[in-house]
Each structure stands twice: as structure tokens, then as C-alpha cells.
Amino acid sequence: MASGNAIRGSRVGAGPMGEAERGESAPRLRVSFWCSNGHETEPSFASDAQVPETWDCPRCGFPAGQDRDNPPDPPRTEPYKTHLAYVRERRSDADGEAILAEALAKLRGEI
């Protein structure tokens, strides 16, 4: 004998209605984009929507363009810099020596 729950195993919205229940789908346009690694992506857009010039490649994350032979360049990433590297960009070795001498003089009580 079956239990008293008649909709067991169904999900909300499941049924035979299909598109009549949800409405008609908008006309679609598939556009191909290629990244610098040669990956092709084909997102679909509504036919009346404005197609972007670039699209992010879902495989490698690089920007992809619509020209297969001339894809956009990958973004240039700067390597991680330490605090000391930034200080060395701003100060010369002579400036560093002068600051160190001043700080040591303060510690020794000479100033």
C-alpha cells in the first residue's frame, strides 16, 4: 500500500506544462570568442542584446575576442613586491645610509 504523500519524489515546478507555463524563450544568438590560448567560447545572447567586445574565457580566465586570428593579449601581472623593494624604488643607497646613521645617532643619544 502506498503512503499518503501523493507528490513524493516530485520537485516544485515539475510537470507536463513546459514552455506554456514559463512563456516563450527569447530568440538567441550564439557568438564565438577566442582567447590567446586558442580556447573557443560560445555564449548565447538575446538577439536584440548588445554583444560585448571581449568575454572572459571560462577555461583559462584570459580575455577573449571575436577575431580568431587576433585575440586580445593576456593581462600583464606584476610580480609581488616586498616592502623593501618599494623603499628601494623611492630611496637611493646614499639616502638609506643617511637615514640609518641618523636613526643610530638617536638611539645612542648623540642627537
Residue 32 is labelled as binding a ligand? no
Residue 72 marked ligand-binding: no
The annotation status of 57 as a binding-site residue, yes or no, is yes
Q: Are strands 63-65 and 33-35 parallel, antiparallel or unpaired?
A: antiparallel
Residues 93, 97, 99: CA angle, nearest 5 degrees: 115
95 is in an annotated binding site: no
Beta bridge pairs of residue 65: 34, 54
**CB 52 within 8 Å of CB 65:** no
Binding residues for Zn(2+) are: 35, 39, 57, 60
Residues making up the binding site? 35, 39, 57, 60
